[in-house]
Structure 1
Amino acid sequence: MRALFVGGVVDNSEMDLEGNQPPVHYPEDTGGGHSRYRLHQVGKTSDGTVAYAVYGAPDITDEEVSRVADERAYARRFEAEASLFEH
């Protein structure tokens, strides 16, 4: 699964994630009280596999993350259907 980032210092960056479910925050646990990227959107393929996870900077809204993800065409690129992650 790919992690895709919107906003902040790593805007438009990508990386591979291990496992079948994306963590709610990235990095998962900093232990230092630093702001973390929050999961906003998950893209699943037709067989239900998570293809990608979109993380937003701490100060970015769900609407802005969705707009940018649509603009970058993540769903089309990964042949997946995007859904908003419910916290």
Structure 2
Amino acid sequence: MRALFIGGVVDNSEMDLDNAPPPLHYPENTGAGRPRYRLHQVGTKGDGTVAYVVYGAPELPDEEVDRIAEERGYARRFEATPTLPVR
């Protein structure tokens, strides 16, 4: 699956992520006790596989992360349906 980042120091960056299911925070262990990114959206294909996940910087409101993800067209790009993660 592809991890996409909104906000923070790696805004608009992407990377491959092997974790299944995706972690709620990225990176999972920062050592500082405060996660750098929080999982906001999971894009699933018709067959149920996860195509992409969207992580947002902790200071960004959920609505802003959703707006930016839609503006960047992640769901369309990966031909997947965006859903909220199970927290």
Relative to the length of structure 2, the TM-score reads 0.93
Alpha-carbon distance between aligned partners in 1 of 2:46 and 2:34, rounded to the nearest angstrom: 36
Structure 1 residue 62 displacement after superposition: 1.2
Q: Which runs of 5+ in 2 are unaligned?
A: none
Relative to the length of structure 1, the TM-score reads 0.93
Structure 1 residue 19 displacement after superposition: 3.0
Asked if the contact 2:27/2:35 (under 8 Å) is kept, the reply is: no
Q: Aligned residues, how many?
A: 87
**Residue in 1 that maps onto 2:67:** 67
2:38 partner SS: strand
Structure 1 residue 33 displacement after superposition: 2.5
Alpha-carbon distance between aligned partners in 2 of 1:29 and 1:64, rounded to the nearest angstrom: 25
1:71 partner SS: helix
Asked if the contact 1:6/1:54 (under 8 Å) is kept, the reply is: yes
**Residue in 2 that maps onto 1:55:** 55
Alpha-carbon distance between aligned partners in 2 of 1:30 and 1:19, rounded to the nearest angstrom: 17
| Superposed CA RMSD | 1.1
Q: Which runs of 5+ in 1 are unaligned?
A: none
Alpha-carbon distance between aligned partners in 2 of 1:22 and 1:86, rounded to the nearest angstrom: 10
